[in-house]
């Protein structure tokens, strides 16, 4: 590779030809502030915060897109640079809703942090200030253009998902992020993945806060308020309390939930084990009886909604299994309520999810195992909302002891833990299918070909003489690639796992916000997934069908085999083809 | 300036649709041809209503929002149909000083439409433009390609009457 030599604030550094000033500065250990820049995703030089002085350049240049030349001397911290950045911030603030005290992103806002660092005068510029209505039309997020700085990171995130329902409209002072024809977001084919909320630098895109519903339920003595937590939460929640990325905080999380007042703290991992035995049964049934293949997983509600909008013809391939969240709620309101002698109407199920689409999923049709329109899950909170509840309750998270889940629906397996990472559901299903088909308790259970953060993974296994071709995709743009291959006949898979978010649930739209600098320089997906694979490795039981609760429920409650009528009634659902821009 | 959207029903013909589909077929291999396709579509329909933008989005395999974003960015794209007679009043400095604003108001009043709108019978549409380089004739308006100059408010009715 051709290298060139540059100096950043006097520090000599050698970078590949074509590298930008920002890349050179990062290589030299010099931080240049950015707002619009997302490595390889949004390199547009729009926000002008990264301006620097560089020899050979006329005026200040944007470090994020300006290429280095050999011998270039770059200065990132001169009076001229600081003054320009400060003015830019003050101009941004001139149209910004500055109610930072009541903004959910306060103290975690990239704009606020820079304004503090540069000592801005928030009233420096007056003039025209557009007023936008909040978009609250979806169950999962609130879009507030009054806090938007037009960095277009959300647009890039939406484009990365091959959804692109938001973009920049109009021009000049009228420019705003919006939907085609100013439709409400809820009237567009948005898949609710929430990736936009994870990359927004300010409070312009935030999850819809449902914590008040949970506080109200917790205060209602007539309700049994039960909580369940998704596999990936334990790998990410610590980040909200300044713990290192990839710290497994399962024990502290359970302790915190108990202190918040939940009557029982259950693990969605248990439900994930039910998902695996039902899905593996469905797969084997389709293989034997000539059903629609490949079977495609349906755990990710963002992916399911994507399929309903963009590939309705593929819906027969979707597994009819409910997602672990919905199975968890269904089991709590049927099996567990009956066991405790509770009326399902008095049970309030809260789930802690890495995901904004789960807020959409709880309201879907055909999600009522207990009947009478009783929802399987009442409220889905994101990891971020849970962190806020813990803070509001005055719980010192890092000082908590480690506690265990309540055992009734809180015993899990290694197979369930890895659901939170791309390839995890596939591996869990293969472990079970392998045992069922060979009739043995196999010791070789690592299917490493489907691990890792690649967007698309393919593998082929021979299980008891049956050739199983599998594919794993994460991120709906990769899902699109697989769907097109399947439709054209180019690929002939048996089983396909798809997660809506790039990297799977560990990188879900409801996970803790990390500033873009961290997202650019740390592989969040990989670091968070490591915590899950380490836990799997350390567990005694690593196969879903060996979960004692699974055995107990099928024997004594469903009174049948996997896939029996009672299990089907409680744990399966249906899908609908959705028309894009129907209104 | 924000673009006005039309509430008039879409009345595209089969023939127009075939023309547009042919344009899309020619260009769909290259997404960067989006703007060129939109220009041709505006040539075919006179404007870019939702129905046309949807056809372009589906055909070019880009999102509807992308098409809409481009349509609202460039001044040349219109979201409202043009009438059989398209009236454009120059509001450049010279014309404005000579009373073009009064002409514009009078036209809105007589036609019952605002700027960048079209009458329900699609006979007239009205817009304001900047200097057309005929300052010596100020105030000036054009009806399709025809230029009318040195006007006063009282001339407006007569001009409309000529449009049959």
B63 touches chain A (CB under 8 A): yes
- Which pLDDT score is estimated for A10? 97
Third-level CATH fold of A212-571: Rossmann fold (3.40.50)
CA dist., res. A300 & res. A305, Å (int): 9
The SS3 call for residue A177 is strand
B50 touches chain A (CB under 8 A): yes
- DSSP for A314-343, written as a single string: GGGGB--BPPHHHHHHHHIIIIIHHHHT--
Distance of residue B31 Cα from the nearest chain A Cα, in angstroms: 14
Q: B73: nearest CA in chain A?
A: A170
Residue B6: pLDDT band by 50, 70, 90 thresholds?
Answer: confident
Residue ranges of alpha helices (H) inside A342-474 are 357-361, 383-392, 414-417, 424-438
CA dist., res. A267 & res. A401, Å (int): 18
Any idea which residue has 């809260």 for tokens?
A350
Any idea which residue has 């290589």 for tokens?
A27
- Which pLDDT score is estimated for B127? 93
Mutate to test the interface with A, among B1, B51, B63 (most CBs of A within 10 A): B63
Whether B10 contacts B46, CB under 8 Å: no
Chain pair A-B, CB pairs under 8 angstroms: 44
Can you tell me the mean pLDDT for B115-135? 93
Contact B63 A163 (CB under 8 A): yes
For CATH 3.30.70.20, the residue range(s) in chain A are: 92-207
Among A163, A169, A188, select the one facing B69 at the smallest CB separation. Answer: A169
- Which pLDDT score is estimated for B83? 92
Contact B68 A180 (CB under 8 A): yes
Helix %, strand %, coil % of chain B (to 5): 50, 10, 40
Among B1, B63, B72, select the one facing A164 at the smallest CB separation. Answer: B63
Domain ranges of chain B: 14-73, 85-162
Strand partners, A38: A42
> Which residues of chain B neighbour A170 with C-beta distances below 8 Å?
2-3, 72-73
Q: What is the DSSP letter of A522?
A: S
Residue B4: pLDDT band by 50, 70, 90 thresholds?
Answer: confident
Mutate to test the interface with B, among A169, A476, A480 (most CBs of B within 10 A): A169
Count Cβ atoms below 10 Å from residue A314 Cβ, excluding itself.
19
Up-side HSE of residue A66: CA atoms within 13 Å toward CB? 22
Q: What is the pTM of this model?
A: 0.93
Any idea which residue has 């550094």 for tokens?
A13
Mutate to test the interface with B, among A160, A163, A167 (most CBs of B within 10 A): A167
Q: Residue B70 belongs to what H/E stretch?
A: helix B64-73
Mutate to test the interface with A, among B51, B52, B57, B65 (most CBs of A within 10 A): B65
> Which residues of chain A neighbour B2 with C-beta distances below 8 Å?
170, 174
Sequence-distant (6+) residues with CB within 8 A of A516 are A34, A37, A38, A110, A153, A199, A201
- What would the two tokens of residue A126 be? 């007056």
- What would the two tokens of residue A42 be? 């949004």
Nearest by Cα to A415 from A331, A320, A539, A326: A539
End-to-end CA distance of chain A: 53
Distance of residue A186 Cα from the nearest chain B Cα, in angstroms: 14
Q: Indicate the Cα dihedral angle B70, B71, B73, B78, nearest 10°.
A: 160
Superfamily of structural domain B85-162: Glutaredoxin (3.40.30.10)
The per-residue b/e assignment along B70-109, b for 16 or more CB within 10 angstroms, e otherwise, is bbbbeeebbbbbbbebbbbbbbbebbbebebebbbebbee
The SS3 call for residue B130 is coil
Nearest by Cα to B87 from B12, B34, B163: B163
CA dist., res. A567 & res. A369, Å (int): 10
Q: Residue A379 belongs to what H/E stretch?
A: strand A379-382
Whether A387 contacts A241, CB under 8 Å: yes
- Which pLDDT score is estimated for A150? 97
For CATH 3.40.50.1780, the residue range(s) in chain A are: 212-571
Contact B63 A179 (CB under 8 A): no
CA dist., res. A143 & res. A197, Å (int): 9
Q: Which residues of A touch B (CB under 8 A)?
A: 163-172, 174, 179-181, 188, 580-581
Among B63, B68, B73, select the one facing A181 at the smallest CB separation. Answer: B68
CA dist., res. A413 & res. A544, Å (int): 6
Contact A169 B72 (CB under 8 A): yes
Count Cβ atoms below 10 Å from residue B158 Cβ, excluding itself.
10
C-alpha B120: how far from chain center: 15
CA dist., res. A375 & res. B98, Å (int): 69
Any idea which residue has 């630098």 for tokens?
A201
Q: Which CATH number fits domain A92-207: 3.30.70.20, 3.40.50.300, 3.30.2310.20, 3.90.105.10?
A: 3.30.70.20
CA dist., res. A464 & res. A467, Å (int): 8
B31 touches chain A (CB under 8 A): no
Sequence-distant (6+) residues with CB within 8 A of A287 are A293, A466, A494
Count Cβ atoms below 10 Å from residue A40 Cβ, excluding itself.
8
> Which residues of chain B neighbour A169 with C-beta distances below 8 Å?
65, 68-69, 72-73
Contact B68 A167 (CB under 8 A): yes
Nearest by Cα to A297 from A109, A160, A429: A429
* pLDDT averaged over 10-residue windows placed end to end, chain A, 583 residues: 94 96 97 96 96 95 97 97 98 95 95 97 90 97 97 98 97 95 96 98 98 98 97 97 96 98 97 95 92 96 98 97 97 97 97 98 96 96 98 98 95 90 92 90 89 93 90 97 96 96 96 96 95 92 94 96 95 96 81
- Which pLDDT score is estimated for A542? 93
Contact A165 B63 (CB under 8 A): yes
- What would the two tokens of residue B65 be? 């929002």
> Which residues of chain B neighbour A166 with C-beta distances below 8 Å?
65
End-to-end CA distance of chain B: 32
Can you tell me the mean pLDDT for B78-104? 94
Strand partners, B112: none
- ipTM of this complex: 0.90
Whether A327 contacts A205, CB under 8 Å: no
Mutate to test the interface with A, among B7, B31, B47, B69 (most CBs of A within 10 A): B69
Contact B1 A180 (CB under 8 A): no
Distance of residue A328 Cα from the nearest chain B Cα, in angstroms: 36
Q: Calculate the alpha carbon distances from A234 to A98, A334, A455, A484 in Å.
A: 34, 26, 23, 35
CA dist., res. A425 & res. A297, Å (int): 8
Nearest by Cα to A134 from A205, A195, A191, A200: A205
Count Cβ atoms below 10 Å from residue A528 Cβ, excluding itself.
30
Across chain B, mean pLDDT equals 94
Considering the domain delimited by A3-77, tell me its CATH architecture.
Roll (3.10)
Q: What is the DSSP letter of A469?
A: E
Residue B164: pLDDT band by 50, 70, 90 thresholds?
Answer: confident
Residue ranges of alpha helices (H) inside A249-382 are 250-260, 268-289, 301-310, 324-331, 337-340, 357-361
- Which pLDDT score is estimated for A105? 96
């Amino acid at each position: 590779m051709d290298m060139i030599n540059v100096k950043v604030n006097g520090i000599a550094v050698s970078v590949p030809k074509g590298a930008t000033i920002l890349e050179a500065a990062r290589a030299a250990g010099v931080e240049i502030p950015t707002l619009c820049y997302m490595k390889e995703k949004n390199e547009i030089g729009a926000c002008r915060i990264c301006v620097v002085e560089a020899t050979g350049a006329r005026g200040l240049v944007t470090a994020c897109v300006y290429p280095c030349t050999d011998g270039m001397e770059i200065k990132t911290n001169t009076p001229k640079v600081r003054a320009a950045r400060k003015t830019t911030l003050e101009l941004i603030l001139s149209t910004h809703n500055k109610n930072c005290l009541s903004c959910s992103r306060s103290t975690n806002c990239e704009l606020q942090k820079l304004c503090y660092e540069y000592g801005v005068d928030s009233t420096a510029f007056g003039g025209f200030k557009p007023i936008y209505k909040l978009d609250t039309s979806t169950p999962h997020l609130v879009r507030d253009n009054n806090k938007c700085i037009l960095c277009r990171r959300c647009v890039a995130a939406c484009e990365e998902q091959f959804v692109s329902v938001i973009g920049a409209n109009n021009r000049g002072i009228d420019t705003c992020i919006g939907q085609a024809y100013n439709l409400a977001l809820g009237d567009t084919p948005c898949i609710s993945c929430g990736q936009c909320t994870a990359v927004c630098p300010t409070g312009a895109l935030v999850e819809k806060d449902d914590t008040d519903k949970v506080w109200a339920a917790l205060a209602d003595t007539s309700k049994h308020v039960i909580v369940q937590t998704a596999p990936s939460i334990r790998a990410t929640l610590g980040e909200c309390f300044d713990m290192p990325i990839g710290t497994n905080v399962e024990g502290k999380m359970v302790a915190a939930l108990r202190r918040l007042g939940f009557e029982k703290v259950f693990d969605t991992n248990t439900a994930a084990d039910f998902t695996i035995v039902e899905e593996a049964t469905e797969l084997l049934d389709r293989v034997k009886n000539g059903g629609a293949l490949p079977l495609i997983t349906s755990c990710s509600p963002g992916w399911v909604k994507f399929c309903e909008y963009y590939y309705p013809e593929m819906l027969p391939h979707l597994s009819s299994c409910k997602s672990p969240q919905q199975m968890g709620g269904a089991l709590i309101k049927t099996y567990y309520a009956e066991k405790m002698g509770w009326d399902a109407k008095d049970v309030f199920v809260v789930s802690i999810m890495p995901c904004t689409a789960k807020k959409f999923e709880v309201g879907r049709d055909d999600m009522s195992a207990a009947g009478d329109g009783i929802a399987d899950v009442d409220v889905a909170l994101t990891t971020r909302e849970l962190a806020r509840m813990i803070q509001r309750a005055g719980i010192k998270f890092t000082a908590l002891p480690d506690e265990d889940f309540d055992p009734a629906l809180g015993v899990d397996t290694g197979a369930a833990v890895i659901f939170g990472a791309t390839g995890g559901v596939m591996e869990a299903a293969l472990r079970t299918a392998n045992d069922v088909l060979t009739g043995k308790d196999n010791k070789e259970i690592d299917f490493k070909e489907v691990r890792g953060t690649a967007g698309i993974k393919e593998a082929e296994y021979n299980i008891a003489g049956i050739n199983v071709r599998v594919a794993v995709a994460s991120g709906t743009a990769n899902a699109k690639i697989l769907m097109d291959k399947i439709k054209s006949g180019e690929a002939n898979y048996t089983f396909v796992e798809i997660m809506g978010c790039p990297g799977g649930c560990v990188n879900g739209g409801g996970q803790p916000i990390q500033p873009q600098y961290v997202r650019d320089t740390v592989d969040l997906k990989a670091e968070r997934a490591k915590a899950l694979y380490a836990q799997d490795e350390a567990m005694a039981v690593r196969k879903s069908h060996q979960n004692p609760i699974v055995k107990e429920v099928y024997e004594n409650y469903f009174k049948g085999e996997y896939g029996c009528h009672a299990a089907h009634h409680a744990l399966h659902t249906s899908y609908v083809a959705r028309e894009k821009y129907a209104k | 300036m924000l673009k006005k959207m039309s509430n008039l029903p879409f009345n595209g013909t089969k023939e127009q649709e075939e023309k547009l589909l042919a344009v899309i077929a020619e260009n769909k291999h290259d997404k960067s041809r989006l703007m060129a396709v939109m220009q041709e579509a505006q040539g075919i329909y006179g404007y870019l209503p939702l129905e046309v933008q949807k056809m372009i989005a589906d055909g070019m395999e880009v999102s509807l929002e992308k098409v809409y974003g481009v349509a609202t960015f460039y001044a040349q794209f219109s979201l409202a149909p043009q009438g059989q007679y398209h009236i454009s009043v120059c509001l450049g400095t010279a014309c404005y000083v000579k009373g073009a604003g009064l002409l514009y108001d009078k036209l809105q009043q007589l036609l019952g439409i605002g700027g960048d709108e079209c009458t329900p019978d699609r006979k007239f549409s009205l817009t304001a433009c900047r200097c057309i380089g005929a300052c010596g004739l100020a105030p000036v308006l054009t009806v399709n390609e025809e230029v009318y100059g040195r006007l006063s408010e009282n001339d407006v009715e007569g001009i409309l009457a000529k449009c049959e």
